[in-house]
């Protein structure tokens, strides 16, 4: 992409409403634009990242055996009357009426709808287990939206729903998502920690929040710091096999959010040198809720004995749009974003320091074409303007690598390559630059 064609409205000054780094940087880097409280338009740069995050989520869901579909944003109220949640949900749910005065709502989640869809098509235990997911915009009329996309009212969420014949089988589905989540967040460079979450009236131990540690996190968390470097299962993991050992391993050490924290327990189970109290951002939440919806909504299947019984369900959410905020919180400095390669809007930025200069233009054009040929996403800064402005802009948007092409280096046939993550620079010849970048990009994108 040529910068001169792109739409990248940057802000030099910090908008007054942005309190935390991710919100500030998303506004300054021209990724989002606010349209109302907790409602954002995704500008080209932000949208590129959003799509990359979405794709990683999708790939790991598919790997775990879930099947993608798409449910509507608008749902009929009657569906929610079946589960009893139409009245229970409260003002968080945006209720609307259509031209015939039919009661509708903008979906805050999809348990009811997926249950209706499932019950319409499945009769026998032989059709189980099933895991279905979609990635769709949700609306929750939060009392107080804040922190940009971290707590918006409209947000993009991946939600998966599992259907099993009994609790033991449901646990297997739960474990699949548990592992899928560990992998999903790791691929984005995040160290996520599963923490016991409140299961509410249903009870049991089957609800976990996936937390990424960040100073600006919304909740206080307490954990054994050895969890941070626990090894995430690789892509050869057999999702049809027994995943219980992985679950056991990750849940063997203490980890709890504020609500679930028990200090006595914490001190008993965690050696003092490993105790960690920090703040965290919730980026995923998985939940087993048994027959909560299948019973009232009559989603049953015939068992081997010919008798009908309600299916056991679970739901598994990932805050896709929220992840942008979480990733920036984890990877940024005073100058801007520092995207991990896997979610970067472009892998590399080519900076033409002297647009209009024959040698510079030529070298840049060669690099631009060759990099794209090599499968690298390139943003080519072909604009006029001063060097300082170009450097600052590229640092702000935070592409993993910058290739600086200027008359000074070209005299000796060289360009400068800067790595955004640590600022390390290296002079390489124009000829070897493509290989240099392409190799590092493909290494960084390798899925393990």
Partner RNA sequence: CGGGGCGUAGCGCAGCCUGGUAGCGCAUCUGGUUUGGGACCAGAGGGUCGCAAGUUCGAAUCUUGCCGCCCCGACCA
* Residues in region 206-265 near RNA by CB under 7 A: 209, 218-219
Minimum distance from residue 288 beta carbon to RNA (Å): 14
User: Which CB, 68 or 427, lies closer to RNA?
Assistant: 427
Q: In the set 146, 191, 226, 372, which binds RNA (CB under 7 A)? A: 146
Site string for RNA, 311-350 (x = CB under 7 A): ------xxx-xx------------x---------------
Whether cis (ω within 30° of 0) applies to the bond prior to 129 is yes
142 near RNA (CB under 7 A): yes
Residue 306: left (phi > 0), alpha (psi -120 to 50), or beta?
Answer: left
158 near RNA (CB under 7 A): no
Beta bridge partners, 142, equal none
User: Given the rule CB under 7 A, which of 75-83, 148-156, 371-379, 439-447 is the region that contacts RNA?
Assistant: 148-156
Q: In the set 24, 52, 134, 153, which binds RNA (CB under 7 A)? A: 153
Minimum distance from residue 316 beta carbon to RNA (Å): 10
Q: In the set 152, 233, 290, 345, which binds RNA (CB under 7 A)? A: 152
SS3 per-residue string spanning the chain: CECCCCCCCCCCCCCCCCCCHHHHHHHHCCCEEEEECCEEEECHHHHHHHHHHHHHHHHHHHHHCCEECCCCCEEEHHHHHHHCHHHHCHHHCEEEECCCCCEEEECCCCHHHHHHHHHHHCCEHHHCCEEEEEEEEEECCCCCCECHHHECCEEEEEEEEEEECCHHHHHHHHHHHHHHHHHHHHHCCCCEEEEECCCHHHCCCCEEEEEEECCCCCEEEEEEHHHCCCCCCCCCCCCCCCCHHHHHHHHCCCEEEHHHCCHHHHHHHCCHHHEEEEEEEEEEEEEEEECCCCCCCCCEEECCCCCEEECEEEEEEEEHHHHHHHHHHHCEECCEECCCHHHCCCCEEEEECCCCCHHHHHHHHHHHHHHHHCCCCEEEECCCCCHHHHHHHHHHHCCCEEEEECHHHHCCCEEEEEECCCCCEEEEEHHHHHHHHHHHHHHHHCCC
* Residues in region 283-302 near RNA by CB under 7 A: 283-285
User: Given the rule CB under 7 A, which of 80-88, 121-129, 293-301, 380-388 is the region that contacts RNA?
Assistant: 380-388
11 near RNA (CB under 7 A): yes
Minimum distance from residue 35 beta carbon to RNA (Å): 8
Site string for RNA, 383-422 (x = CB under 7 A): ---xxxx-xxx-xx-------xxxxxxx-----x-x----
User: Which CB, 83 or 237, lies closer to RNA?
Assistant: 83
Minimum distance from residue 317 beta carbon to RNA (Å): 5
Q: In the set 144, 229, 241, 334, which binds RNA (CB under 7 A)? A: 144
Minimum distance from residue 67 beta carbon to RNA (Å): 21
Q: Which two tokens stand for residue 113?
A: 């709808």
User: Which CB, 11 or 67, lies closer to RNA?
Assistant: 11
Q: In the set 2, 4, 37, 204, which binds RNA (CB under 7 A)? A: 37
Minimum distance from residue 350 beta carbon to RNA (Å): 12
User: Which CB, 8 or 243, lies closer to RNA?
Assistant: 8
Q: Do 26 and 325 contact (CB within 8 A), yes or no?
A: yes
Q: In the set 155, 185, 293, 346, which binds RNA (CB under 7 A)? A: 155
6 near RNA (CB under 7 A): no
Please work out, in degrees rounded to the nearest 5, the angle formed at the alpha carbon of residue 126 by the alpha carbons of 120 and 132: 55
User: Which CB, 306 or 388, lies closer to RNA?
Assistant: 388
Minimum distance from residue 232 beta carbon to RNA (Å): 19
Q: Which two tokens stand for residue 9?
A: 């409205």
Minimum distance from residue 321 beta carbon to RNA (Å): 6
Minimum distance from residue 245 beta carbon to RNA (Å): 26
User: Which CB, 108 or 119, lies closer to RNA?
Assistant: 108
User: Given the rule CB under 7 A, which of 77-85, 99-107, 281-289, 294-302 is the region that contacts RNA?
Assistant: 281-289
Nearest to 320 by CA among 182, 86, 135: 135
Q: In the set 140, 187, 208, 440, which binds RNA (CB under 7 A)? A: 140
List C-alpha distances in Å: 420 to 7, 35, 122, 187, 268.
22, 31, 51, 19, 42
Minimum distance from residue 214 beta carbon to RNA (Å): 14
Q: What is the binding site for RNA (CB under 7 A)?
A: 10-17, 19, 34, 36-38, 92, 140, 142-147, 150-153, 155, 157, 209, 218-219, 282-285, 317-319, 321-322, 335, 353-354, 386-389, 391-393, 395-396, 404-410, 416, 418
């Amino acid at each position: 992409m040529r910068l001169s064609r792109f739409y990248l409205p940057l802000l030099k000054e910090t908008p007054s409403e942005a309190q935390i780094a991710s919100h500030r940087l998303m506004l300054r880097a021209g990724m989002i634009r606010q349209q109302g409280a907790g409602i954002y338009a995704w500008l080209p740069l932000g949208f590129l990242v959003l799509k990359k995050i979405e794709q990683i989520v999708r790939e790991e869901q598919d790997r775990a055996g879930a099947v993608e579909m798409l449910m509507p944003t608008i749902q009929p109220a009657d569906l929610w009357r079946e589960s009893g949640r139409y009245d229970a949900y409260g003002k968080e749910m945006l209720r609307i009426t259509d031209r015939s005065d039919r009661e509708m709502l903008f979906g805050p989640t999809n348990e009811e709808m997926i249950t209706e869809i499932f019950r319409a098509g499945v009769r026998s235990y032989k059709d189980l287990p099933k895991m279905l997911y979609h990635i769709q915009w949700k609306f929750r009329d939060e009392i107080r939206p804040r922190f940009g996309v971290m707590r918006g009212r409209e947000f993009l969420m991946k939600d998966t729903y599992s259907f099993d014949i009994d609790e033991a089988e449901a646990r297997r589905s739960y474990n699949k998502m548990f592992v899928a989540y560990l992998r999903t967040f790791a691929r984005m460079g995040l160290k996520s920690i599963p923490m016991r979450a409140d299961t509410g009236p249903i009870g049991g131990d089957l609800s976990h929040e996936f937390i990424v540690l960040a100073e600006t996190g919304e909740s206080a968390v307490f954990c054994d710091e050895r969890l941070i470097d626990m090894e995430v299962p690789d892509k050869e993991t057999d999702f049809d096999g027994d995943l219980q050992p992985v679950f056991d391993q990750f849940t063997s050490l203490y980890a709890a959010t504020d609500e679930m924290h028990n200090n006595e327990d914490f001190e008993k189970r965690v050696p003092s040198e490993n105790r960690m109290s920090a703040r965290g951002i919730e980026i995923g939440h998985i939940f087993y809720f048994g027959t909560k919806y299948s019973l009232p909504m009559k989603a049953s299947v015939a068992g081997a004995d010919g008798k009908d019984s309600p299916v056991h369900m679970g739901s598994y959410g990932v805050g896709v749009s929220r992840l942008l905020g979480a990733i920036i919180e984890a990877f940024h400095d005073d100058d801007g974003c520092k995207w991990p390669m896997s979610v970067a809007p472009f892998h590399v930025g080519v900076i033409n320091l002297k647009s209009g200069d024959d040698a510079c233009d030529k070298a840049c054009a060669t690099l631009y074409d060759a990099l794209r040929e090599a499968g690298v996403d390139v943003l080519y800064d072909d604009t006029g303007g001063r060097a300082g402005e170009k450097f600052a802009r590229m640092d702000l948007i935070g592409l993993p690598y910058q290739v600086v092409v200027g008359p000074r280096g070209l005299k000796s046939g060289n360009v400068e390559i800067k790595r955004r993550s640590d600022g390390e620079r290296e002079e390489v010849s124009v000829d070897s630059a493509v290989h240099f970048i392409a190799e590092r990009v493909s290494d960084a994108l390798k899925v393990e």
